[in-house]
A and B are shown apart, each in its own frame.
Chain A
Amino acid sequence: MRDIIRMIVVLGVMAAVSGVVLAGVKSGTAEQIEYQQLKFVKGPAIKMILEGCSNDPLVDRFKIKDGEVERGFYVGVFDGKANAVAYETFGKGFGGDVGIMVGVNIEADELLGIGVTTHSETPGLGSRAKDDPSFGAQFKGLSITKPFKVKPDGGQVDAVSGATITSRGVCQGITDSSAFYSKLKPQIIEQAKAFAK
């Protein structure tokens, strides 16, 4: 009996100490990890979309509360005016959620470009939505206010061949995002002003 109690106590104490240590390390590194993910996962997409801006969008960012969720916006400064923002939205792909970074010109409500950030699509098929620049390029200049659809659904976007579901998910994600974009637009313009140089 004493043996059993000893085992339980030793294992219990070790697990508890381990939990405390890990919680400490986790909260200690959380901020740094967030920045690293921003830099290496979202960073390339943001840089591509806001190409040619005179600031660093990864530094010039703000968050707006939209009901329960908090949405991050990255500001691009062109010709001294903070007239572009990029934000992330999600669409349903073939293998799960597809993260899409969307760049919008807030003066003209036009897409500057899109880029896929995270996905779990089939390599070589759905993954081309991220790797093939010609897919993202066709969104450039389209109006954010109109719904996006792939051509088989009667829309304007050429789907990646062999990956209609992924392409449809990307379109759906951008279409969904136009709803919160329009809703938050006054706040976005207000906040973005601060970054103009």
Chain B
Amino acid sequence: MAKTIVQEFTKGLWEEIPPFRLVLGLCPVLAVTKTVANGVGMGVAATFVLVCSNILVSMLRKSIPSQVRVPCFIIIIATFVVVVELVMQAVAYPLFLQLGIFIPLIVVNCIILGRAEAFASKNPLPASIADGLGIGVGFTIALGALAGIREAFGAGTISVPFSDTVIQLFGPSFQPFTFMVEAPGAFVCLGLVLALMNLAGK
């Protein structure tokens, strides 16, 4: 059962990559993956919250009474989410306007509460950090990949995260397949990626 730190990290990248393998946290996955910049921004914000909450939950796991562990986890998570929200407003205001309500909603993202409950509250600090980082990076990759597919087909562009650069993929005669950037397109796209990953996993 005992895994090394490296294994705890890498399991989040493929074996337990959150939206595709655990099929968790689908709300932001479907909602913010219209552009790569938004998707990766959301992923980084969630990763920060996940790593920080894993650290605190793991450190405090022996002093938190088990009857009130969920309220305690929620306090920790909510604190970091508000920190992310404020910092994002201060340094990346356009991104904050784009992500809007989905930043506060990280509080109820089941990946984060799930990792706190299922992993960090039972494991020592180094393993919890590795787990948080791995799952967070996996979540970011998943969001980025899904957003890349949707943006490329739906808008014909790829927006580079954390800059204003937008790469035009196709020539001026490209007709955007707008279905892809709308909500149903997100479901179809997610389904196709899931199918491909199942195929590749066999």
Interface residues of A (CB under 8 A from B): 3, 6-7, 10-11, 14-15, 18, 21-22, 25-26, 29, 32-33, 36-37, 39-40
Contact = CB atoms under 8 A, between A and B. Distances in A.
A15 B67 CA distance: 16
B93 A14 contact: no
Interface string B55-86: 00000000111011001100110110011001
Interface string B79-123: 100110011011101100100000000000000000000000000
A29 B87 CA distance: 7
A81 to B, nearest CB: 33
B89 A29 contact: yes
10 contacts: A6-B65, A10-B65, A11-B68, A15-B75, A22-B79, A22-B82, A33-B86, A33-B89, A39-B93, A40-B97
Interface residues of B, number: 21
Interface of B: 63-65, 67-68, 71-72, 75-76, 78-79, 82-83, 86-87, 89-91, 93-94, 97
A36 B75 contact: no
A32 B90 contact: yes
Given A3-B67, A25-B82, A14 B90 contact: no
A36 B89 contact: yes
A10 B63 contact: yes
Nearest to A18: B79
Nearest to A39: B93
Contacts of A25: 82-83, 86-87
A14 B75 contact: yes
A78 to B, nearest CB: 29
Contacts of A7: 65, 67-68
A15 B83 CA distance: 15
Contacts of A10: 63-65, 68, 72
Nearest to B63: A10
Contacts of A6: 65
Closest 8 CB pairs of A and B: A36-B93, A32-B90, A29-B90, A18-B79, A33-B89, A7-B68, A29-B86, A40-B93
